Amino acid sequence: MQEAYNELNEKLAELSDIGAAGALMGWDQQVNMPPGGAEARGRQMGTLGKIAHEKLIDSRVGELLEILKPFEEEKGYDSTEASIIRIARRGYDKAVDVPPSFTAKWQKVTSDSFEVWIKARPANDFKMVQSHLETNFDLCKEYADYFPGYEHPLDPMIDNHDFGMKASNIRSIFSELRKELVPVVEAITSQEPADDSFMHGHFDSAKQIEFGESIAKLYGYDFNRGRQDMAAHPFTISFAIGDVRITTRVLEDFLSSALFSTLHEAGHAMYEQGSDPAFDGTVLRGGTTIGVHESQSRLWENIVGRSKPFWGHHYPQLQEKFPDQFANVPLDRFYKGINKVERSLIRVESDEVTYNLHVMMRFAFECDVLDGKLAVEELPEAWKDRMESDIGARPPDDKDGVMQDIHWYNGIIGYFQGYTLGNIMSSQFYDAAVRAHPEIIDELGQGKYDTLHTWLKDNLYSHGSKYTAHEILKKATGQELNIGPYMNYLKTKYGELYEL
Amino acid sequence: MQEAYNELNEKLAELSDIGAAGALMGWDQQVNMPPGGAEARGRQMGTLGKIAHEKLIDSRVGELLEILKPFEEEKGYDSTEASIIRIARRGYDKAVDVPPSFTAKWQKVTSDSFEVWIKARPANDFKMVQSHLETNFDLCKEYADYFPGYEHPLDPMIDNHDFGMKASNIRSIFSELRKELVPVVEAITSQEPADDSFMHGHFDSAKQIEFGESIAKLYGYDFNRGRQDMAAHPFTISFAIGDVRITTRVLEDFLSSALFSTLHEAGHAMYEQGSDPAFDGTVLRGGTTIGVHESQSRLWENIVGRSKPFWGHHYPQLQEKFPDQFANVPLDRFYKGINKVERSLIRVESDEVTYNLHVMMRFAFECDVLDGKLAVEELPEAWKDRMESDIGARPPDDKDGVMQDIHWYNGIIGYFQGYTLGNIMSSQFYDAAVRAHPEIIDELGQGKYDTLHTWLKDNLYSHGSKYTAHEILKKATGQELNIGPYMNYLKTKYGELYEL
């Protein structure tokens, strides 16, 4: 039995190593690669993906997982051994149900679609990419058919990103959240918009990076086991527990971009760095679902990084770094500015309050298209209409409308919900940490993050992907997924800011 | 037949892609990786190496190579098809003769040995690493035994680096060269040493990099298909014809280090970038032997980059960049300084003339140890004695004696000869280019390198690894390997410098 377990682990370590090589190729592509390397890199990453897939669906893996059933039971659900077997089985079962020919087609189709989107978006030409998007949604349905018994055709995709969730659960929690959010957005946006003009101006790149990294370090992101580089789109990527990297994008004329992206990515990265070191090279390394991952980036970016106590401590340092820009901006004005709520067009630039409405709209469109209620062709207009009715801002074009996000065009469908699930959970985790250690609030005002980080590490990060989102939420917070803490957070914070 | 050929090519492309992933991991390890990533990276690179080896010795590859024999013949030796099959067969035949258990042992032993050397060298403690070095040499003999019929136990290793060469050929050409070199060294070092004090001082890093890169660009190193980064030991690495990267090391107090290393690595890189684009993803991409590769780095570093016409053109630019250091140093003094010949201890810092004596000594020791004429235990003293008699400088310790080079401690045996073969061939290639285009000499004095680069590209680079060193030398220069042009180059250049 122990032998079969060792054999399985060797196979999984091999997969993890190939995955790390592929991830490094992806990181390099966005951070370092000279333009001439693009063509070969695409082929090389495809080869690695193919080898990994072949090794994942190797029938010997299936045999080992079968052999190991009694061993798994004996060790018990919470043991590392049983967890490795359980998570490996989940991946194996899902992978073997899909024919390799589909996987190859999927890769080709979505990569072609991405290449077209790259050109169609700046040209504001949805027609150019429309048939590709139709194919992507069609293949999404075809994918679902490999998992008969699904409730909704989006479910098998959702399951890949937010294991254990279904369209029906998400619909129900989103409709609850929507009911609560809309009046808050209405109340705020009927007031005079906050002034954030001081975030625009000229900010030296090196100083921006220095400031952001100094906070990431204080948060507990370990630069001995990571580094920050520049990339067009900020992301976190992990090659091992000892090597978790972040990227950021610096705009010299807008301070928020690099600063808050660094805090956001540091949240993701601390989650990855915090895995039990014994999980390295196993399926348990790194975070569990997209939603839980996003809860950590949003917790450190927003709940901590846009809070009043945080800036009470760090604002004088920022003023010292950029005296020309901030000498005459008092803390209160700064705090209100970085938490400005507005009816805006672009999801990734939107504020904490309206952000979720952007997400819900995308999720609803995914369901509608797959349900046949909405044709891809109708998406551009539907997008504009819903932006107008939901957010109160009608996009003047498709470039900043239906074509703004890379996801669908790259075949990433059933993913957006994770961002809002993350927002909801961020407050659940944070509140639980504060319940356990009320001193966290005071510490934020002193630039100390150890107690919060340690609680998160012990109760969430160290478990890697051992538990589902549901399980870890219950374990860490004692609660089911619920919007109470998040709405409470928003209402308290913005109630005070806008005297609601 | 075409089908079998396509199948072979797919398999070879897969191998090339895995190789590129491993190479990227190695590059990243030396350029970017945070310290925490080291452990996992070792494992990940090992996994990729193992997968590549398994795929290389896949019996289907052997079958295809057999099936393709008539196809190869039909296409003809010079065709891309026959060349791919021929070079693939060479790699396959050599790999299948070695049991995987030996390959695994070799990897483990040499990596352990390297780890010990890393500590033993700064501690100046040869005893610490002696048994590891003994094992490395023992395994080298064991490796040879998988290729019965070798003339000398070093031959199968030499063959991996300088295909087609044997210890006996090298011995004979080295003894010829030695006879010619020794009197030159004697004659020069009996004179007053050249002054190169102006190369020491303070040189701003960014300016150093800028200057070196501007020359590499003029040479024709394409930064759209490459980049330069910092690393502890300069090297060139290639992931595709469109992505060939170089590294350098900047010393703020010594100008030669970064400058000449950039010119050296640019030479290697232009060779790799110059492969026929159709060779990407095949076994023909990149250079042929170590010796030929080194001929290109030395050609661009030394024959061009330390020549009088080169500096006649570029020295005013260097003076402008570093006026404090060079305003009062006339060109002649500068030229003599960068070509200073001296009795020095360290191979990688030694001049063009004595360099080959350092190499010959290492090669002779490899032969002697494998022949049982010299025990590893006796190496430190033998090293000191030979340094004294050959170079006229006795190392005061083993750190800068027998332990100075990484090669042996990392299992790289039968490799050093390539450096001197490269020097010899650099003059053969250069002279052939000048015979074809006498205007090259004038162009050097105008900072123009197109004619030289184009000739090298057409006659050498574009052929990738299609031809052996012997074949390409004959094709490009019309000559066999011979020391004539190289000794002529040295005697003319240094004869003038030292009025011999």
Question: According to the model, what pLDDT value does residue B425 have?
Answer: 98
Question: According to the model, what pLDDT value does residue A126 have?
Answer: 98
Q: What is the mean pLDDT of each run of 10 residues along chain B (500 residues)?
A: 96 97 95 94 92 94 98 98 98 94 90 92 97 97 96 97 97 97 94 95 97 98 98 95 97 96 98 97 97 98 98 98 96 97 93 96 98 98 96 95 96 97 98 98 97 98 98 98 98 94
Question: According to the model, what pLDDT value does residue A499 have?
Answer: 87
List the single residue in A with minimal CA-CA distance to B16: A44
Å between A443 CA and nearest CA of chain B: 29
Mutate which: B58, B213, B239, B273, vs A, most A CBs within 10 A: B239
Burial class (CB in 10 A: 0-12, 13-18, 19+), A389: exposed
Checking ipTM against 0.90, whether it exceeds it is yes
At residue A281, does pLDDT exceed 90?
yes
Per residue in A396-405, pLDDT (tens digit) is: 999 999 999 9
CATH code for the domain of A363? 1.10.1370.30
Is B374 within 8 Å of chain A by CB? no
Query: Do A45 and A144 have their domain in common?
Result: no
Q: Test A224 with B21 for CB contact under 8 angstroms.
A: no
Query: Do A133 and A68 have their domain in common?
Result: no
- Does a structural domain hold residue A155? yes
Query: Do A266 and A340 have their domain in common?
Result: yes
At residue A469 the predicted structure's pLDDT band, cuts being 50, 70 and 90, is very high
Give the pair of three-digit tokens for residue A76. 């018990």
Measure CA A198 to chain center: 29
Question: According to the model, what pLDDT value does residue B422 have?
Answer: 98
- Does a structural domain hold residue B159? no
Q: How far apart are CA B20 and CA B160, in angstroms?
A: 19
Per residue in B96-120, pLDDT (tens digit) is: 999 988 988 998 899 889 989 999 9
Question: According to the model, what pLDDT value does residue A203 have?
Answer: 98
Backbone φ and ψ of A438, nearest 5°: -60, -20
Quote the percentage of chain A above a pLDDT of 70. Answer: 100
Query: Do A139 and A53 have their domain in common?
Result: no
Question: According to the model, what pLDDT value does residue A11 have?
Answer: 97
Query: Do A72 and A130 have their domain in common?
Result: no
The amino acid that residue A53 corresponds to is H
Q: Test A32 with B242 for CB contact under 8 angstroms.
A: no
- Does a structural domain hold residue B239? no
- Does a structural domain hold residue B412? no
Per residue in A367-396, pLDDT (tens digit) is: 999 999 999 999 999 999 999 999 999 999
Per residue in A298-329, pLDDT (tens digit) is: 999 999 999 999 999 999 999 999 999 999 99
SS3 per-residue string spanning B106-120:
HHHHHHHHHHHHHHH
Question: According to the model, what pLDDT value does residue A111 have?
Answer: 87
At residue A104 the predicted structure's pLDDT band, cuts being 50, 70 and 90, is confident
Determine if residue B229 is left, alpha or beta; phi over 0 gives left, psi from -120 to 50 gives alpha, anything else beta.
beta
Per residue in B61-100, pLDDT (tens digit) is: 999 999 999 999 999 999 999 999 999 999 999 999 999 8
At residue A100 the predicted structure's pLDDT band, cuts being 50, 70 and 90, is confident
For residue B302, the 8-state DSSP code is I
Backbone φ and ψ of B77, nearest 5°: -45, -45
Last residue of a domain, one of A80, A96, A112: A96
Q: How far apart are CA A286 and CA A16, in angstroms?
A: 11
Question: According to the model, what pLDDT value does residue B155 have?
Answer: 98
Catalytic residue flag (residue B265):
yes
Radius of gyration of the CA atoms of chain A, in A:
23
Is B41 within 8 Å of chain A by CB? yes
Domain span holding position A486: 124-500
Question: According to the model, what pLDDT value does residue B81 have?
Answer: 98
Query: Do A399 and A280 have their domain in common?
Result: yes
Mutate which: B31, B43, B245, B280, vs A, most A CBs within 10 A: B43
Q: How far apart are CA A240 and CA A88, in angstroms?
A: 18
Query: Is A21:B27 a contact under the CB 8 Å cutoff?
Result: no
Query: Do A86 and A128 have their domain in common?
Result: no
Question: According to the model, what pLDDT value does residue B98 have?
Answer: 93
Query: Is B133:B408 a contact under the CB 8 Å cutoff?
Result: yes
The DSSP bridge pattern shows strands B236-240 and A243-248 to be: unpaired
Cβ density class A223-238: b for 16+ within 10 Å, e for less: eebbbbeebeebbbbb
Query: Is A252:A206 a contact under the CB 8 Å cutoff?
Result: no
- What does the pLDDT average to over A22-28? 96
Query: Do A333 and A416 have their domain in common?
Result: yes
Mutate which: B12, B24, B53, B237, vs A, most A CBs within 10 A: B24
- Does a structural domain hold residue B39? yes
Q: Test B21 with A25 for CB contact under 8 angstroms.
A: yes
Query: Do A186 and A90 have their domain in common?
Result: no
Query: Is B258:B248 a contact under the CB 8 Å cutoff?
Result: yes
Query: Do A26 and A151 have their domain in common?
Result: no
Query: Do A422 and A369 have their domain in common?
Result: yes
Give the pair of three-digit tokens for residue A319. 């003023």
Q: How far apart are CA A281 and CA A13, in angstroms?
A: 5
Question: According to the model, what pLDDT value does residue B384 have?
Answer: 98
- Does a structural domain hold residue A355? yes
- What does the pLDDT average to over A197-205? 97
Is B171 within 8 Å of chain A by CB? no
Catalytic residue among B265, B272, B294, B342: B265
Average pLDDT, chain A: 96
Domain count, chain B: 1
- Does a structural domain hold residue B11? yes
